[in-house]
């Protein structure tokens, strides 16, 4: 799923790095993937077979709009049989603002 999300993000943004942590009990899987090739690398792996998992996917793609990224994540999560909820976005909501340093409604840096 993270690979597919990253490849699709790479088609709409300049450069990106997507990360995900999945938990099952006290076990953790931590993976990441750049938007270049969709190769997923793991930092921490599950120590045993797991059942239901919950987790967080962090998608950071420069010059890509929030709504489009959200749609990609939602579609790929659903295709993987996962239910996705989204953290409320903060920072700049201006679709015409492409400043990666922009942090708010008034274009603070």
Partner 1 sequence: MRLLVVSGMLGSGKTSLILRLLDGFFPQGMKVAVIENEFGELGVDTEVLERSGMPVRDLRGGCICCTLAGGLAETLRNLSASYSPDIVVVEPTGIADPSVVLRSVQDVDGVHVDRADVLVLIDCERFLKVRRMFERPLRNQLSVAAAVLLNKTDTIPAEDIDSVEDGVRGMGYAGPVLRIRADTGDGMERLGEVIL
CB of 103 to partner 1, least distance (A): 5
Which helix H or strand E contains 32, and what residues bound it? strand 27-34
Q: Which is nearer to partner 1, 11 or 87 (CB)?
A: 87
DSSP-derived letter for residue 43 is E
Please identify, using beta-carbon distances, which residue of 15 and 75 lies nearer to partner 1. 15
Give the shortest CB-81-to-partner 1 separation in angstroms: 21
Phi, psi of 9 (to 5 degrees): -65, -35
Q: Which is nearer to partner 1, 3 or 21 (CB)?
A: 21
Beta bridge partners of 21: 30, 56
Strand order in the sheet with 27-34: 40-44, 27-34, 16-24, 54-61
Distance CA 89, CA 45 (A): 29
Contact positions vs partner 1 (CB under 8 A): 14-17, 19-21, 28, 30, 32, 34, 36-37, 39, 41, 43-44, 56, 58, 60, 62, 87-88, 90-91, 100-101, 103, 108-109
- Smallest gap, in angstroms, from Cβ of residue 78 to partner 1? 20
Taking a C-beta distance cutoff of 8 angstroms, is the pair 76, 59 a contact?
A: no
Task: Between 10 and 76, name the residue whose CB sits nearer to partner 1.
Answer: 10
């Amino acid at each position: 799923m993270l690979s597919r999300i990253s490849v699709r993000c790479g088609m709409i943004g300049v450069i990106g790095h997507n990360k995900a942590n999945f938990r099952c009990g006290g076990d953790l899987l931590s993976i990441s993937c750049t938007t270049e090739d969709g190769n997923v690398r793991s930092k921490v792996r599950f120590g045993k077979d797991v059942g239901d998992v919950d987790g967080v996917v962090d998608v950071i793609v420069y010059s890509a709009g929030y709504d489009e990224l959200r749609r990609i994540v939602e579609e790929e999560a659903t295709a993987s049989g996962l239910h996705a909820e989204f953290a409320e976005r903060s920072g700049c909501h201006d679709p015409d603002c492409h400043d990666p340093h922009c942090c708010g409604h008034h274009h603070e840096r």
